[in-house]
Amino acid sequence: MNPKELKSFQKHIGYKFKKRHWLETALTHPSYRHEVDPDTLMDNQRLEFLGDAVVGLLSAEYLYAIRPKLDEGSMTKFRSMVTSRTGLAALALEWKIGPRLRLGKGEAQSGGAERESNLADAVEAVIGAVFQDGGMKACRKFFSRHFEPRLAALLAEKDIQVIKDNPKGSLQEFMQQNGKDAPVYRILSEEGPAHEKIYHAAVLSNGEEIGRGHAPSKRVAEARAAADALEQLQNED
């Protein structure tokens, strides 16, 4: 890749490398190294390994901080959605990284620039290159730009699905069918800064708490409290 293309790509991803060779290495597929200079040229496999660790850590750190009550299984699920091969390849398409990869002739002719594995590996390698060039501080800024919006959107989708499942309506129906008082919802407390608030809700019947839930919005917290109450009541039966 010539200097002009490298400059364009750096502008596109929002990071300017102090040492250009890190980026060049990140965009070098092993097939290119084997064909051109297997003895001294570096490919992106080691940077890919490093980048995988960095993005995994930062994803875990973000989920741990943004959702204090999210369990381990849910955090693992959300992290995998953005760090999986498919998730990373989707980001690679946004970056238009495929045409910029240095590929061996055979790999290029067989569609290597569009291959999901090559694209995902290159994204991880770029992250590894950012780490080598600017350290963890630069990686956190880079992660905030490219990964946090994806994680935030996935979390929001989960919250919307909770409401669509309508546990409050299901609980109301269950209470009526079983001759119990209608559920009443209360916000017990809230915690965290304004942009990351977590609300804790309870649902009561006849003055007795029957379920609890927490979420970044009061509406979802109440829905989760209803789901908790419904599960407990159904198990009792």
Round to whole Å and give the CA distance between 134 and 139: 7
Round to whole Å and give the CA distance between 107 and 115: 10
Q: Average the pLDDT over 115-141 and give the result.
A: 97
Residue 124 appears among annotated catalytic residues = yes
Eight-state DSSP code of residue 216: S
**What is this structure's pTM?**
0.71
C-alpha 135, offset from chain centre: 21
Query: In this predicted structure, what is the pLDDT of residue 195?
Result: 65
Tell me: do 116 and 53 sit in the same domain.
yes
Tell me: do 189 and 119 sit in the same domain.
no
pLDDT over 70 at 130, yes or no: yes
Side by side, the strands of the sheet bearing 184-191 are 184-191, 198-205, 208-215
Tell me: do 44 and 131 sit in the same domain.
yes
Tell me: do 173 and 61 sit in the same domain.
no
Range of the domain at 188: 165-236
How many domains does one find in the chain? 2
Tell me: do 13 and 75 sit in the same domain.
yes
Q: Can you give the CATH number for the domain in which 56 is found?
A: 1.10.1520.10
Tell me: do 139 and 170 sit in the same domain.
no
User: Of 43, 124, 222, 228, which residue is the catalytic one?
Assistant: 124
Tell me: do 139 and 182 sit in the same domain.
no
Tell me: do 89 and 29 sit in the same domain.
yes
Tokens of 108: 């290029």
Round to whole Å and give the CA distance between 160 and 5: 41
Tell me: do 59 and 145 sit in the same domain.
yes
pLDDT over 70 at 225, yes or no: yes
pLDDT over 80 at 56, yes or no: yes
The answer to whether residues 143 and 55 touch, using CB atoms and an 8 Å cutoff, is yes
- Interior angle at CA 124, CA 120 and CA 127, nearest 5: 145
Q: Radius of gyration of the chain from Cα atoms?
A: 24
Tokens of 72: 């381990």
Looking at 139, 157, 175, which one is the last position of a domain?
157
Residue 52 appears among annotated catalytic residues = yes
User: Of 48, 52, 121, 228, which residue is the catalytic one?
Assistant: 52
Tell me: do 74 and 15 sit in the same domain.
yes
